[in-house]
Structure 1
């Protein structure tokens, strides 16, 4: 039996915990946040993400709690929110799965946490790792609750500003792309049955995605602004003003936009760790290793793919060593890097108002790439 510590219980950490524990590994998970504090607004899961969730045997729960769709709409930022294009979306997970699905992030987190515990992973919330000591046989880890344990493998799935990555001494510059995004969750108007995007107008993109029978996730992407010192009510007013510039279903969405606790604002960030993602028997996955702006809606999907590939390779190996971890990175880095670069390319085009953009071609290349099983 392989003993594994997973640092972080987000999408990547929960997924790798499920896959490893189901395969017979002894898995501990530590998560800095309390169990009840799963945060975030919504997430758009493309077909390859749904394929990974099916492989983790949580698809039935995901399907019951999310909202699937097979088409995508493009609307004009005009007085009517005119539909310009309605097209079939690529079924990157296969013909028997929806092209895409919207979910509330806390709901997805709960499904993954419950699945991990059901197959035997032990999750400790409100707990962090605060020390790593390498040896030839693995890694000893000390924790904030005063305990210490030894593991054959430690997986850093602790996000963009990964403590694990910094503790390993891996230098990686996370760059801001120059864009910021307003997000909200709210009631779903009957007219919202798929992802729809408005390009241009008061912002770069205004869009929405249904996340359930009665809920949606909506967002507006603008040039990055510093709202650090804005009050919650001031932030709400900014999003209301932006939303007022868009119509069609946005008119109904805006009418419900009254609760400042339902919105958040973040900047787009990006990085890719070239070379090794591991030091000794500690390896990084998900946003700790590669982070892409959400312009191609692949961040969660790439984290899920990392988790499945790493678990597959670890469970098949006689021992966890450099050869296994190097092979994992060789298998995952090229694909993750292409996704990040595509996401950044779209950001650059929009920021520069480049008249020669070809967003459909970039999206098509990403769809073709992720249709292939990693």
Structure 2
């Protein structure tokens, strides 16, 4: 089949890689003038690292393997530990935290991407797009993997269905050495209401993020001129290494949380969607990149029946999307003290399987 993919993020590149490996003819068109490597980092759960293996993406030596996920009180007292090696043993693949830029570079290697090529018009019924240079390209299948503001989705759905959840994330990397930088622990520190997260990302980097309640035009929004001072005031009393990290930051990246109901069928005729174009969700369950890779894997397997792909993926993707939409991790303090480490580990291991089309099929 000839497949036209719009968008060269995680979803589009993984779709292209999977379909090319399966013998299809693939063309990828990306609006940005070059590979989009900006952004923080992502946690890839066992289903995703298994999919990367199938896509022949060599992630060994990139990023940082995680062994535990811990919840702390604001004074540094450990409240709960999830043993991520239990999922690694159960499913045969590790949990890895990796910079988003490094992930897209790995996925993009050898892919037929045309950059600097916005889409001006989409005809989903004919798997056809008109490009900014005046050309019209048509395939047997059209895949919209062009993110939250997807032009392909807009041609099929109309207006953007996603709404703000009332939360936002400010994040960045620090290369200042901390006690966590070389360890294999993801740490979340409760700051009711809100959260600080710290995860090693390899190469001496530690991802930090702060989840806060925020609304357009108010405190903690993208145009807040005093955001660094505001974050220091709000989170400076948390346990080490948070105060030291706050003192070093000057620039922070802003990510508002969006959510929407995921339809059972999200395509039309020979056109379909993948990644955030199909199922935008808040980052609170660390599932955005994972669900994009799951889309790519199942779409490669189901390219001959797009509606079957959509029904199967929507059933699975709704689970993390609904849980993330509750922003449960940002209000975890009353919950984590009631659960044992063993129970939490068993629950999380089961949840990871329920969130993964690959693991549900393979295990």
Aligning the two structures, in what range does the TM-score lie when normalised by the shorter sequence?
Answer: 0.7 to 0.9
In 2: Cα distance, 1:357 partner to 1:33 partner = 46
Secondary structure at the counterpart of residue 44 of structure 1: strand
Asked whether the equivalents of residues 260 and 281 of structure 2 are also in contact (C-alpha less than 8 Å), the reply is yes
The alignment partner of 1:335 has SS state of: helix
> 2: CA distance between counterparts of 1:209 and 1:195?
5
User: What is the aligned length?
Assistant: 346
1:240 matched to 2:219? The reply is no
- Residue of structure 2 equivalent to 1:106: 101
1:256-335 aligned within 5 A: 256-257=248-249, 259-260=250-251, 263-314=252-303, 317=304, 324-335=305-316
State the shift of 1:102 in Å. 1.5
Structure-2 separation of matches of 1:46 and 1:127: 32
Q: Deviations over 1:32-86 (max 9, x none)?
A: 112154211121222222122111111x2x23120011112222102xx233333
Q: Contact (CA 8 Å) 1:197, 1:206: kept in 2 or not?
A: yes
1:51 corresponds to: 50
| Partners of 2:6 and 2:28 within 8 A in 1 | yes
* SS of residue matched to 1:196: strand
TM-score (norm 1): 0.84
3-state DSSP class of the match of 2:169? Answer: strand
Unaligned runs of 5+ in 2: none
Residue 141 and residue 95 in structure 1: after superposition, are their counterparts in 2 closer, same or farther (change >3 A)?
closer
CA contact (8 A) 1:349 1:357 kept: no
- After TM superposition, the structure 1 = structure 2 runs for residues 333-372 of structure 1, keeping only pairs within 5 Å, are 333-347=314-328, 350=331, 360=344, 363=348, 366-370=351-355, 372=359
In structure 1, distance between residues paired with 2:338 and 2:14: 34
Q: Secondary structure at the match of 1:27?
A: strand
Inter-partner Cα distance in structure 2 for 1:186 and 1:125 = 30
TM-score of the pair, normalised by structure 2: 0.86
CA 4–368 in structure 1, closer or farther in 2 if over 3 Å, else same: closer
Q: Deviations over 1:275-334 (max 9, x none)?
A: 3211121101111111221221111111100111001112xx4xxxxxx11111121111
Q: Determine helix, strand or coil for the equivalent of 1:308.
A: helix
Structure 2 residue aligned with 1:321? none
Match of 2:206 in 1: 216
- Whether the 8 Å contact between 2:295 and 2:313 is mirrored in structure 1 is yes
Measured after TM superposition, the shift of residue 237 of structure 1 is: 2.2
Deviation of 1:213 (Å): 3.1
Q: 2:70 aligns with which of 68, 73, 77?
A: 73
Task: Tell me whether 1:24 sits opposite 2:23 in the alignment.
Answer: yes
Specify whether residues 134 and 69 from structure 1 end up closer, same or farther in structure 2 by C-alpha distance, changes over 3 A only. Answer: closer
Of 123, 133, 154, 1:166 maps to 154
For the aligned residue pairs, the C-alpha RMSD in angstroms reads 2.7
Q: In the alignment, is the contact (CA less than 8 A) between 2:11 and 2:295 conserved in 1?
A: yes
| SS of equivalent residue, structure 1 residue 373 | helix
Counterpart contact for 2:166–2:257, Cα < 8 Å:
yes
Note if 1:97 corresponds to 2:78: no
Residue 278 of structure 1 aligns to a residue whose secondary structure is coil
Match of 1:179 in 2: 167
Query: Are the counterparts in 2 of residues 342 and 362 from structure 1 also a CA contact under 8 Å?
Result: no
Please list the CA deviations of residues 193-245 of structure 1 after superposition, one character each: whole Å capped at 9, or x if unmatched. Answer: 221011235x42111111113111111111114324333xx222223333412
1:230 alignment counterpart: 224
Question: Aligned pair in 2 of structure 1 residues 25, 70: CA closer, same or farther (>3 Å)?
Answer: same
C-alpha separation in 1, matches of 2:96 and 2:133: 38
